Structure 1
Amino acid sequence: MKTIVKLTLLIFFMEVGTAWTQTLYGTSSGEISFYSDTPLETIEALNQKSGAIINSDTREVAVQMRITDFIFPNKLMQEHFNENYMESEKYPTATFKGKIKEQVDFTIPGTYSVTADGVLTIHGVTKPVTVKGNIASTEKGLKLEFKFQVRPEEFQIEVPSLVITKITEEIDVSGRMLLVKR
């Protein structure tokens, strides 16, 4: 599975003209979580198998994950998430492809506030998004942290009226990853 993610991300960068001499940072074990809290229910899940690549020369970034890799504290909730909401067999992955707006020299150690404009694909629907976060450049690589919100209805994720009061209109998504030089 990790090989598929790496290959997909590598192909993406080749498609946009990335030369082999450019500096790539990547991971196949990034963490992405989501959270929804209402008075009736708290919904949260964690995916620790998210793949990501950052090209430090072009500032392009790509993230990909399998939907079924989200783990919930409640197994029944996980089953409903995959079968009823995300239709994971039909739409097995979610992706983000974008570019960091700020001119950042990742060879200089430090923490940088960044904004990436790009497209997010979830449930077979692609929408433009802006993601804000921080990248810390260290001797170990790039530590990426980000947060943004997703509205299920914008990605044609249907929430039955029976449970609509258990899910917030905007789901908080956050991520933490250590990307190492490739």
Structure 2
Amino acid sequence: MNFKSLVLVAIPALALTVNASAQVLSASKGESKFFSETPLENISAANSKVKAALNPATNQLAVKMTMADFEFPNKLMQEHFNENYIESEKYPNASFEGVINEKIDWKKPGTYPVTAKGIFDIHGVKQPRTLTGKLTIEPGKITLVSDFTVALEAHKIEVPKLVMMKIAEQIKVQNKVEFANKG
């Protein structure tokens, strides 16, 4: 999916609020990883096809990923994840649309702690969330890193009793997106 499609389909609110002088930045790189730790088994996966858009003029942020793009070390785990847990045919995407709360000088290099308040959508369940992260502004690049957890029950992701001891109730998620900074 190209960035224009992403803006038109996934983040219309962001596209509508852009003023003529503002520049919406699209992620040049995006990755999401998750980790489930239990005494019986650890499960990890990564998705290197994460899309994101950032409007420095309004602090609006949108991140979207296709769930089937997560790659696992074990193909059977990947199959179970897509078919039995996340139901990626029924719920193909996960997204976050929100606003960075802090006032940022987008022209000043540095690393800044940030929070973004918005709507997190996974498995068809939309929830208000405030996510924390770190924003690094460098010449030519803006990097946003965030770590948070996803509670399976809160998003109606059901785990069969047979494998319940192998999958954590809280999944650790790490995201990193890089934007080309022309400012």
TM-score by length of 2: 0.93
2: CA distance, partners of 1:85 / 1:121 = 15
- Structure 1 segments, 4+ long, off by >6 Å, are none
2: CA distance, partners of 1:161 / 1:62 = 35
The answer to whether the Cα contact below 8 Å between 2:50 and 2:63 also exists between their aligned partners in 1 is yes
2: CA distance, partners of 1:28 / 1:69 = 17
Query: How much has 1:62 moved relative to structure 2?
Result: 0.3
Between the aligned residues of both structures, percent identity stands at 44
Listed as ranges, the gaps of 5+ residues in structure 2 are none
Listed as ranges, the gaps of 5+ residues in structure 1 are none
- What does residue 37 of structure 1 align with? 37
- What does residue 114 of structure 1 align with? 114
- What does residue 173 of structure 1 align with? 173
The answer to whether the Cα contact below 8 Å between 1:86 and 1:123 also exists between their aligned partners in 2 is yes
- What does residue 22 of structure 1 align with? 22
Count of aligned positions: 181
CA deviation digits over 1:114-160, x for unaligned, max 9? 00011100011101111111111111221111100000111111111
Which deviates more, 20-29 or 162-171?
20-29
Q: Aligned to 1:21, what secondary structure does the other structure show?
A: coil
Query: How much has 1:113 moved relative to structure 2?
Result: 0.5
Query: How much has 1:167 moved relative to structure 2?
Result: 1.1
Aligned-residue CA RMSD (Å)? 1.5
Query: How much has 1:86 moved relative to structure 2?
Result: 0.8
The answer to whether the Cα contact below 8 Å between 1:9 and 1:52 also exists between their aligned partners in 2 is no
The correspondence of residues 1-182 of structure 1 with structure 2, limited to 5 A, is 1-3=1-3, 4-9=5-10, 11-15=12-16, 17-27=17-27, 29-181=29-181
1: CA distance, partners of 2:77 / 2:69 = 14
The answer to whether the Cα contact below 8 Å between 1:26 and 1:181 also exists between their aligned partners in 2 is no
The AA in structure 2 aligned to 1:8 is V
Query: How much has 1:6 moved relative to structure 2?
Result: 4.7
The answer to whether the Cα contact below 8 Å between 1:24 and 1:181 also exists between their aligned partners in 2 is no
Query: How much has 1:32 moved relative to structure 2?
Result: 0.5
